[in-house]
Structures are given as C-alpha cells and as structure tokens.
Amino acid sequence: MSVLRTTSAGKPALTASASLPVAAWLGLMRDALGASLTAEAARVPEARFEQIWDEIDRSISQDASRPTAAPASFWQRVWAAFQPFRMPALAAAGAAAVALVALQMGSPEPVNEPPTVASVPKTAEPTPRDVQAPAPTPAPNPPAIAESFPSPPAAEAEIHGIEFGGKQGRISQTGVVTVLYVEEDTSAQKSERSL
C-alpha cells in the first residue's frame, strides 16, 4: 500500500498511505490508554463513596446494636456533662463549708456572763455552799483583761439618746474621748436617812 514517491529533491518520501498503519495503531493505543485511565479515575470516587457509606452503615448498625441506645434522660445528660466539674465543685463546696464553719465559730469563751459572776468581789471567800454548787467562771485577772484590749483609739462617741437621772448632767467632747458627767443627788439620800 505504501507508495514511494520522489520528492522534488529526488529523494524518496514516505507518503500518508504508507504511514497510516503506524499512526492508527498509535491512536488506538492512546485512546485505549486514555479510556482505561478515565475509567480508573471514575472508579476512585465511587470506591471512596462506597467506603464512606460502609462506614456509615457500620456506625448505624453499631448504634442500633447498643443496649443503651435508648435516649438518656435530661438529668443523666446533665450529670454526664457535669462530670469534668465534679471534683472542682466538690472541692469548692468543701472549702466553702470549712470557711462557713470557721466564720461561725467564734470565741470559745462563754458570752453574756451572768451578772452574778461580774458582781462577785475579787476578795470574796467561797462559802461551803458555793463550793458544792457548780464551779462558777473564775473572775478574770485585771492585768490579763487590760492586755487583751488594745489602746483605745482617739475617737469620740456619737450619742444617739441620753437621759440623766441625777442632779445634773452634761456631755463633753474632748476630741480624744467623750465624757458624760452625771452628778448624784446626795441631798435626797441624806434627807431619807434623816427620816
């Protein structure tokens, strides 16, 4: 089929009819290779899609096969969500409880001593009856009391209301301390005694 023709230079040249089988063969090979690659490329997303779908099916089947698949109650979900905060919350509650107890605990000394305790003279000798009675709170030692009180700050008192029952009375503010002066009416007592 191939025809050798002479060119203008006189050299023989391969004409189209001679080269046709090779070109056709190459074209066929190219087409076949292209089609194969295209088909391969088309199968990749399909496989990936099938893989994803299989995974979804597997997870659905696992969820369906779980015995606890029933939806948890609201409080269970809240409790589960609260799980990271359980220990800090317990620690904070414990610290708050300790702080409250510490705040509530005051001085161990008894408050509001009965007047009889305060009125007992320091030099009074205990009678046998007193010895048999429950032991009263011992009279505090004056130096110890003085030590327990700090030096009074220089501050005046604010008088909200006052009643003088003696002969006379007045209020003096010195800038350092407030002094209330009362004067006992001794004349009435003397007259009563004379009666």
- With the CA atoms of 121, 127, 131 and 134 taken in that order, what torsion angle do they form, in degrees rounded to the nearest 10? -50
Question: Interface with another protein by CB under 8 A: which residues?
Answer: 77-78, 80-82, 84-85, 89, 92, 96, 99, 103, 106-107, 109-113, 115, 118-119, 121, 140, 142-143, 145-146, 148-166, 169, 172, 174-184, 189
Report the distance separating Cα 84 and Cα 75, nearest Å: 15
At residue 5, the 3 state secondary structure works out as: strand
Taking the complex as a whole, the smallest distance from the CB of residue 131 to another protein amounts, in Å, to: 22
Q: Which is nearer to another protein, 16 or 70 (CB)?
A: 70
Report the distance separating Cα 6 and Cα 192, nearest Å: 172
Taking the complex as a whole, the smallest distance from the CB of residue 180 to another protein amounts, in Å, to: 5
Cβ distance 3 to 20 under 8 Å? no
Q: Which is nearer to another protein, 6 or 68 (CB)?
A: 68
Q: Which is nearer to another protein, 46 or 192 (CB)?
A: 192
Report the distance separating Cα 13 and Cα 3, nearest Å: 9
Taking the complex as a whole, the smallest distance from the CB of residue 54 to another protein amounts, in Å, to: 16
Q: Which is nearer to another protein, 25 or 85 (CB)?
A: 85
